[in-house]
Amino acid sequence: MTEFCVWAPAASRVRLRIIGEPDRDLTAGDGGWWTLDVPDAGPGTDYVYLLDDDEQALPDPRSAWQPAGVHGPSRVYDHATHRWGDQGWTGRQLPGSVLYELHIGTFTPEGTFDSAIERLDHLVELGVDLVELLPVNAFNGDHNWGYDGVCWFAPHQMYGGPDGLKRFVDACHRRGLGVVLDVVYNHFGPSGAYAPMFGPYLAETGGNTWGRTINLDGPHSGEVRRYIIDSVLMWLRDYHVDGLRLDAVHALRDHGAVHLLEELAVEVEALSTHVGRPLSLIAESDLNDPKLITPREAGGHGLHAQWNDDAHHALHSLLTGERQGYYGDFGSLQCLSDVLTGAFFHAGTWSSFRGRVHGRPVDRTRTAGHRFVAYLQNHDQIGNRATGDRISATLSPHLLRVGATLLMTAPFTPMLFMGEEWGATTPWQFFTSHPEPELAAAVADGRRREFAAHGWPEGDVPDPQDPGTFARSRLDWAELDKPEHRETYDFHRRLIALRKSRPDLTDPRLDRVEVRHGDQFVVVRRGRTVVAANLAPRAQRITLPGLVRSVLLASRGGVTVMRDVVELPPESAVVVAAS
């Protein structure tokens, strides 16, 4: 027996249409819920809803499976039928871990969960702990970044649907890899968003960069909040996912006494206690507000971590020399020092890009560095460049390794973007596959206008709808067979292993990080581990804070050690054990 249940508070009538059968009326219940038990409607049954006397067939807002796409009928799915093989999995905590961000559609030529499984041994050998997937819930079209999702309970069919995602998570767990899933609750995508036809999922007024604001504090918002909470718990419980990255939480407009994020933290903590494994919530926010990761007992929202764009901007600007747009305030060695010791650069300080004071200071003595996810590259920082060029298109292999060294020895939770470990040359461009010509044209035009305002020639901006834009963004795994790329990969592998072997390098205490810098060099001391980086195109002698006992890792040959002095080749870094 299957119970069909849908929230439609303003409807006077709700019908269920099982494909190929006569319509059935649901029974109205409390709080705008409608229900109907159908004894013979088991898993695999396709169905739609019809509201009032309208004949438009609508998929279920809580559909677990959309095999014919977001505009097609929903299909009954039973989570209990999957035979999990991860019974021995006890989870993976975020502190001490290394994240690896990937997009299922471009990680492999086939672009499916099953083909991604075939590459998991590469990640195990690399040494990462948690695989972070860009959004995989259903969206309109074949390929997309995933941030236009409209079905918040259903994995995208082209990737492999619900069973494919479970096979992927299962395969990760059997290899000792945890899984973090990127989820988007701040807007619905522009095509196939049928949930707002059932109820007030959208706020009466207001919007954000991507569309109408979700109703989190208006009339009937209780059920909308529950819709999001249930989606969060479903990914963690039914798909055995180990954590969620919450997209752009600054766009979640909630003026209630208990913010949705705090409510999520409470519910996820309860689920974690029940399933007996750590479950992490990681926020993306541009507010530079440590309240997100401050424990609830201290008046914060109680999330486990947040992305730290300031760490990216400090490294990117320093290495590339770029100063346009939001990089304007970044790029100095003092900026890097401020970030390594205090997490945020804009911490109640002036932001020239915003034209105002931005951010809030982090309490260095009480806030652990592992609560900040740091990266040299990610999907946004590559894909939101006009041509989607990676940092490897700008930097020499030697400077790439300097950047990797500074990232992996920082007091944060480091994250790599797919292919970064070998210096991939394939771009990561903004791609869509909207079937609607008007929407496709609007997205392409908007992209061109956006970058024209920043001075990019129109011809330099790829058409998101061009299949070639998507094809160019696929990883080229053959690059790993080329000596230069293999050397970069081997360096990342040794760097991650070193990070895990030295307690100093996983120590999250920000107030124990010491930084000194001079003419195009920086020295970072973490306990008895010292990192020296020479950013200059010439060799430099650098005095270290303590006597060198051994060289742990060098980004290139030619390093000379003399007691408390190292001579570094151009564009190089070294990690040493010191007294």
Other beta carbons within 10 angstroms of residue 453's beta carbon come to 8
Catalytic residue among 170, 182, 284, 463: 284
148 is catalytic: no
DSSP 3-32: EEEEE-TT-S-EEEEETTS--EEPEE-GGG
Structure tokens at 47: 């169905």
Burial readout 282-313 (b: 16 or more C-beta within 10 A, e: otherwise) = bbbbbebbbbbbbeeeeebbbbbbbbbbbbbb
Structure tokens at 100: 């690896």
- On whether the CB atoms of residues 498 and 553 are closer than 8 A, the answer is yes
315 — phi, psi (to 5°)? -70, -45
Distance (Å, rounded) from C-alpha 180 to C-alpha 415?
12
197 — phi, psi (to 5°)? -75, -20
CA angle 487, 399, 364 (to 5 degrees): 110
Alpha helices (runs of H) in 179-332, residue ranges in sequence order? 195-198, 221-238, 260-275, 309-320
DSSP 31-95: GGEEEEEETT--TT-EEEEEETT----B--TT-S--TT-TTS-EE---GGG---S-TT-----ST
Q: At what angle do helices 309-320 and 333-342 cross, to 10 degrees?
A: 160
Structure tokens at 408: 């992996």
Q: Residue 547: which of 579, 516, 504 has the closest Cα?
A: 579
Q: Which residues pair with 415 in a beta bridge?
A: 99, 375
Task: Using DSSP, state whether 552 is helix, strand or coil.
Answer: strand
Distance (Å, rounded) from C-alpha 141 to C-alpha 153?
17
Q: Could you identify the residue written with the tokens 């060198």?
A: 548
Distance (Å, rounded) from C-alpha 156 to C-alpha 177?
22
Distance (Å, rounded) from C-alpha 102 to C-alpha 115?
13
Distance (Å, rounded) from C-alpha 436 to C-alpha 420?
34
> How many residues in the chain?
579
Q: Which residues pair with 356 in a beta bridge?
A: 351
Q: Residue 98: which of 178, 162, 185 has the closest Cα?
A: 178
Encode 461-499 in three state secondary structure: CCCCCCHHHHHHCCCCHHHHHCHHHHHHHHHHHHHHHHH
Distance (Å, rounded) from C-alpha 280 to C-alpha 287?
20
- On whether the CB atoms of residues 174 and 37 are closer than 8 A, the answer is no
Structure tokens at 124: 């195990």
Catalytic residue among 129, 242, 247, 380: 247
132 is catalytic: no
Task: Using DSSP, state whether 125 is helix, strand or coil.
Answer: helix
Q: Could you identify the residue written with the tokens 């990690």?
A: 575
Catalytic residues: 247, 284
